[in-house]
A and B are shown apart, each in its own frame.
Chain A
C-alpha cells in the first residue's frame, strides 16, 4: 500500500527531516510510526498526503508514484486517503454532521446519499446522537472521533493519522485506538504516528521506529507477543 524508496526530505537551510528512508506497508496492515518529536514522523505522513514532496527518492501510495501526481491532481489524490490530525482540524462554524459530510460534498456526492453515509460514519464512532451539535460543545475525545468519522466517511482504503491521541487521556486514547482497530478489521490500511508506546504495545501492531529521519537500528523494546 505504501512504499518509500530512499526518500529524503531536506528543508531549505539544509536540515534533513528524512534521510534516505525506505519502508513498506502492506495492504490491510495497521502500522505505527514512533519516534521522538523531530524524528520525521510527521514529515513521513506529509509526504504520503502530498502536503510535501520528497527532495529525492520515491513515495508510492496504492501503486501511484506521488512524484508523478501533478499539482492539479493533488485534490483527487487526497480524496483517496483518510486523514486524522492531532488537532482534529474541524470547522467550528458548522454542526458535526456537516463536518463529517465535507469530503462527500467535495467529491460531489448527492445530498441524500451523503447524509446516509454521514450517519453511518457517525454511528461507527458512536456519535450519531450528536450529529446536530457544534464541535466546540463536544469533549476533546468526541471531537477526535468526529475527525475520524470525517476521515472514513468516503471509505478510503488508506487512513493516516498524526498523533491522533496526542491530546487525549489514556482511556480516550484506547477508545480511539479500538475504533482504528475495527476499521483495520474490515480491510482499511492504517498508518498512525504516535509516541504512546505503552498503548501501541497493548495493541500489538507492527512498529516503525524513526530516529533522526532514519529507521532506528534496534527497537527500543520488544513487543510482548502475549498482549
Chain B
C-alpha cells in the first residue's frame, strides 16, 4: 500500500462556486429529510394528518362564515322599514304619501312598491309561482320601503318607526333588516372566535411539530454528537431538522386543502338539492387561490417555526462528551 500525497497531483477538478455547493447541499439535505420521513410512513402520515386536521378546521369554519356572509349579503346593510299600507289606499294616494315621507330629514329615500309589483316579485322569488296564479285577486297591499338617512341613531329610528306606524294610511310597519344586522354581528363574533381558535390551533401545530422533532433529535443524538465532534456547527446539525419541519408543514397544508376540498365536494350535492327545492341557484363559494395558498403557507411557516424553535433549544444542549 503506497502512501503518497498524490491526490492533489491528479487532474484538477473544476471547483464549484460556494453558492452552487450551498444550494446542492440544501437539495441533498432536503431530499435526505424527505427520505427519513418516508422510512416511517405510518408515523409520518399520522403527524401530517394531525397538522392537516388542525389547519383544515379553522379553514372550513371560515369558509362557512364566508358563505353565510355572501348569502346574507344580498339583503345587506341599511335598516329599512317596510310600511304596508291599508288595502283601501289607492295607488296615487300611496305614491303621494311616499313623496311626503321622503321629505323628512331622517329619511333618505322611499321606494314605492305597488301591490302588483310586489306580487310579481313574490312569484319570482318565493317558489310558489304556480300556486299564486290560482288566487282570485291580489292579497298584497301597496308598500313603501323607507330607507333612513345616513347617521341615524337608534333613538331616531324608534321615533321614525313610531311616526310611520301612527300614520292613518299605515296598516303595519316592519323593520326588515334588523335580523340581518344581528346575523352579521353574530358572524363577526364567529369570525373573531375563528381567529382566536386558529391562533390556538397554530400553537398546537408548533407544539406537535416541535415535539416530533425533539424525539427525532433524541433518536439521532449520537449522530449529532459525532458530527459536532468533527467540527459541525449548530447551524449544520440543525439543517436536516428544519427541513423535516418544512416537509411536515408543507404536506400538512396540502392535506388540509385536500380535506377542505373533499368536504366541499361532499356538500355540493346536498346544497344543489336544497337550491333546487327553493328554485334558486345558490352555490357554495369555494376557497380562492389566495386562501388556498395561505393555508399551505401557514402550514410551512408553522412547520419551520416549530422545528426552528425546538432545534434552537436542543442543538445547543447536545455537545460531545
Contact = CB atoms under 8 A, between A and B. Distances in A.
Interface in B119-153: none
Given A110-B15, A110-B16, A186-B5, A91 B233 contact: no
B231 interface: yes
Interface string A64-77: 00000000100111
A103 B7 contact: no
A217 interface: no
A117 B10 CA distance: 11
B232 A106 contact: yes
B231 A78 contact: yes
B25 A105 contact: yes
Interface string A134-154: 000000000000000011000
Contact of B21 (A79, A83, A109): A109
Interface in B212-253: 222-223, 226-234, 236
Would you call the interface of chain A mostly helix, strand, loop, or mixed?
helix
A107 B25 CA distance: 11
B18 interface: yes
B231 A107 contact: yes
Given A51-B320, A108-B22, A117-B7, A76 B231 contact: yes
Contacts of B16: 110-113
A106 B1 contact: no
B230 A78 contact: yes
B155 interface: no
A124 B21 contact: no
Interface string B43-66: 000000000000000000000000
Interface in A98-144: 102-103, 105-113, 116-117, 120, 124, 126
Interface in A45-78: 49, 51, 72, 75-78
Contacts, number: 76
Interface in B66-87: none
Interface in B1-37: 1, 3, 5-7, 10, 13-16, 18, 20-22, 24-25
A111 B24 contact: yes
A221 interface: no
Contacts of B223: 91, 93
A102 B228 CA distance: 11
Nearest to B1: A126
Contacts of B222: 91
Contacts of B13: 112-113, 116
A77 B21 CA distance: 22
Contacts of B232: 75, 106
A36 interface: no
Contacts of A103: 230-231
A79 B230 CA distance: 6
A182 interface: yes
Nearest to B20: A110
Interface centre among B22, B228, B233 (most CB of A within 10 A): B233
Given A124-B3, A126-B1, A182-B3, A106 B236 contact: yes
B229 A89 contact: yes
Nearest to A179: B3
A106 B321 contact: no
B15 A113 contact: yes
Contact of A108 (B10, B18, B229): B18
A113 to B, nearest CB: 5
A78 B229 contact: yes
B224 to A, nearest CB: 10
Nearest to B11: A116
A146 B5 CA distance: 18
A107 to B, nearest CB: 7
A91 B232 CA distance: 14
B21 A120 contact: no
9 contacts: A75-B231, A76-B231, A76-B233, A89-B226, A91-B222, A91-B223, A108-B22, A111-B16, A112-B13
